[in-house]
């Protein structure tokens, strides 16, 4: 089985003072059994890297599809790499919703991430209306087919299943619902990625210390992408311990 990954997505939260949470986290989990990743706002990557060294991995929350150039306000994958990132989250539902990112755009960004030597965490997930309409598996399959670029491998690509209705709501799918989607994702990847069995499949959406162990026991769940609970060292530490 792939090595587990506990990834924290700080979204648009945190500042330099919040970096102290990371010291607490590292002190509490000096040698975690899983890989630990924090994706802070891009402006915090450099100071965070200076603080944590190689104790945990760092990642961005988006990158541009182009390598450089006249794109005001955007950040290139190589620039994330330059300040210490090893990962970048791509196609998060908040970016798909707020910035109109399509599967095609996400695939182009992931290709740029790969070219820069970053591992892309490609996010997929259905809305509540799509789940109610019985479209979940079709939606996930289409997002996977459209968002994963050629050249994806288990080394440069992670997939995160984040049901939109479970993000920041305190609601989570049943274990059966998560198992169904993760099983489909593993199958679907086999048609696209040579080492599909090794690709890490994360679950994200209201992961908390109280539900982490149950979620991590589900087949084909290789870790978590954690939002709100990643901002507090105690909560994220408990989730890491559950992995």
21 binds ligand 13P (CB under 6 A): no
157 binds ligand 13P (CB under 6 A): no
Catalytic residue among 92, 114, 182, 220: 92
Phi-psi region of 89 (alpha: psi -120 to 50; beta: other; left: phi over 0): beta
Residue 82 or 214 having the CB closest to ligand 13P: 214
94 among known catalytic residues:
no
Least distance to ligand 13P from the beta carbon of 70, Å? 30
- Tallying the residues shown for the chain, one arrives at 243
Quick check: helix, strand or coil at residue 155? coil
Residue 167 or 221 having the CB closest to ligand 13P: 167
Q: Where are the alpha helices (DSSP H) in the chain?
A: 20-28, 45-52, 77-82, 93-98, 103-115, 128-132, 136-147, 175-190, 209-216, 233-242
Calculate ∠ Cα 165-74-227, nearest 5°: 30
Region near ligand 13P per CB under 6 A, out of 51-59, 71-79, 128-136, 205-213: 205-213
What φ, ψ does residue 58 adopt, rounded to 5°?
-125, 155
124 binds ligand 13P (CB under 6 A): no
46 among known catalytic residues:
no
User: What are the catalytic residues?
Assistant: 92, 162
Binding-site ranges for ligand 13P (CB under 6 A): 9, 92, 162, 167-168, 204-207, 225-229
């Amino acid at each position: 089985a792939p090595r587990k990954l506990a990834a924290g997505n700080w979204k648009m939260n945190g500042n330099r003072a919040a970096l102290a949470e990371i010291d607490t986290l590292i002190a509490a989990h000096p040698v975690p059994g899983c890989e630990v990743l924090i994706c802070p706002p891009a402006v915090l990557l450099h100071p965070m890297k200076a603080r944590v060294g190689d104790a945990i991995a760092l990642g961005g929350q988006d990158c541009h599809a182009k390598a450089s150039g006249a794109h005001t306000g955007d950040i290139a994958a190589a620039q994330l790499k330059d300040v210490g990132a090893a990962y970048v989250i791509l196609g998060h539902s908040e970016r798909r919703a707020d910035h109109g990112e399509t599967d095609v755009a996400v695939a182009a960004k992931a290709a740029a991430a790969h070219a820069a030597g970053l591992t892309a965490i490609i996010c997929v997930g259905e809305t509540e209306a799509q789940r109610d309409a019985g479209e979940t598996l079709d939606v996930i399959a289409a997002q996977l087919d459209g968002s994963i670029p050629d050249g994806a491998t288990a080394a440069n690509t992670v997939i995160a299943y984040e049901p939109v209705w479970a993000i920041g709501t305190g609601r989570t799918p049943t274990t059966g619902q998560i198992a169904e989607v993760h099983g489909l994702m593993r199958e679907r990847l086999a048609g696209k990625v040579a080492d599909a069995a090794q690709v890490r499949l994360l679950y994200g959406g209201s992961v908390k210390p109280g539900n982490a162990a149950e979620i991590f026991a589900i087949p084909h769940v290789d870790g978590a992408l954690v939002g709100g609970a990643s901002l507090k060292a105690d909560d994220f530490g408990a989730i890491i311990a559950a992995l």
